[in-house]
Amino acid sequence: MDCLFCKIVAGEIPAHKVYEDDKFIAFLDIKPVNPGHALIIPKAHYRNLFDMPSDLMSELGPLIKKIALAVKEATKAEGINIGWNNEPAAGQLIYHSHTHIMPRFVGDGFEHWHGKTEPTSEEFAKLATDIKKNLLES
């Protein structure tokens, strides 16, 4: 497999690891939003969130919190963004599931989205109905 993150897991490519257990590894992003920006990846290869087993997802949640708190303390960050890009339209560049822990500071210049559309009340209602329907069917 020609996956950059699988090569990091295998030790073929060096990384500044901040955490490792039998299922996950976390390391510093080489193109950080701010210093301390870390990535958490499962050791097993999954393309993204949609491929990960639910039991692994349930283990990931507490780990995200643990690493986010450690990053916040170590960097003295004023806030933390958690990011997870899934598929190209969402900005996923490496197709091995990974979660970003991004330390943030007031005035750091990293812009966040502020909604590109302004749906009507009717559009909101239809979207909510459609999402609930899909939840029931899953």
Q: Which residues are catalytic?
A: 98
Partners of 103 in the beta sheet?
A: 80
Residue type, 120: T
Phi, psi of 79, rounded to the nearest 5 degrees: -165, 170
Which residue is listed with tokens 């559009």?
123
Compute φ and ψ for 29, nearest 5 degrees. -70, 135
